[in-house]
Amino acid sequence: MSLILFAFVVRVRDGLPLSASTDFLHNKELQEKKQQLKVISKSLNILPERGIIKGHDLNIYFLSSKGVSYMTVCACGLPAAMAFCFLEDLCWEFTACFDSSAVALASRPYPFLEFDSTIQKLQHHYNQNKGPSLEITLIEVQEELSTSPPQVLTMEDVMLANGVANGHVDQTTASDYTVCTQSMKRYIVVRSLSQITFLSATQCHLYLFHICQKKLKAITLLILIILCNAFLFDVRNIWQLIFHMFVACISTLLTLHRKLLDRNTDCGV
């Protein structure tokens, strides 16, 4: 079983993807980790140079050096020293292929996609031989990690850092804004439901009793009911919305085509 599953190279200053390994697996947690890598890449400029984000079966490791960050998704069974050894090797290979000016001038995602073959070879070597492939030795990395251990982070830490990186420093303000928005949505839903009930009752009244300007009022009621149903798009499925609007249309048609009965002058008296 492969222990190193995916590798990702990004530019630190803006999180621009530079290269990545080809993924042939359809593991659900791996796909989630790949999405998390994109989130992490947006806040690398304020995260530590080395970091670990632990998961259930898979861990994320990242190493930033000279404006480029090297990230990998590995099985939990892989020692941290081996994962960082892989990242050190990856850093050495990438630096040997591309200079800092090429990285700085990159303007589109994955400009160094040809580096994928090098990543694949390195992954294969580690997965097969369980050891470093270049000058980096496992003992050196272990000593370095014991002297300066990588920071263990959570995705909550990354999300907070991501907010700070994008200018959202006050987490409380963002939280208050979210609560306020949710409360407003609930208020609109409740008001729409109550308005639909009132408008439907008014439709019944309009059908049963003769009122002046009945046509104008019936069409106005129909438009208002359709608008109120539009506000309920998040809480009702499409079939429920179609049903309620269909009933409103039928009620309007019946109201418009209902004729007054002629009063019989002969009451049989």
- Distance between CA atoms of residues 161 and 151, nearest Å: 14
Q: Kindly report the pTM of this predicted structure.
A: 0.59
Burial 84-108 (b: 16+ CB within 10 A, else e): bbbbbbbbbbbeeebeeeebeebee
- Distance between CA atoms of residues 126 and 124, nearest Å: 6
Do residues 33 and 42 make contact, with C-beta atoms less than 8 angstroms apart? no
Would you give per-residue pLDDT tens digits along the chain (269 residues)? 678 999 999 999 999 999 999 876 777 888 899 999 999 998 898 899 999 998 888 999 999 999 999 999 999 989 999 999 999 999 999 999 999 999 999 999 999 989 999 999 999 888 887 666 555 677 888 888 888 889 998 888 888 877 655 555 444 444 555 556 666 767 677 777 777 888 888 878 777 887 788 788 888 888 988 888 887 776 677 888 788 888 889 888 888 887 765 555 555 54
Place of tokens 């609007």: 245
At 167 the pLDDT is 54
At 61 the pLDDT is 96
Cα-based distances in Å from 19 to 103, 115, 120, 138, 268:
11, 6, 11, 25, 95
Cα 225 from chain centroid? 33
Cα-based distances in Å from 55 to 32, 70, 130:
10, 18, 22
- Distance between CA atoms of residues 70 and 171, nearest Å: 28
At 214 the pLDDT is 78
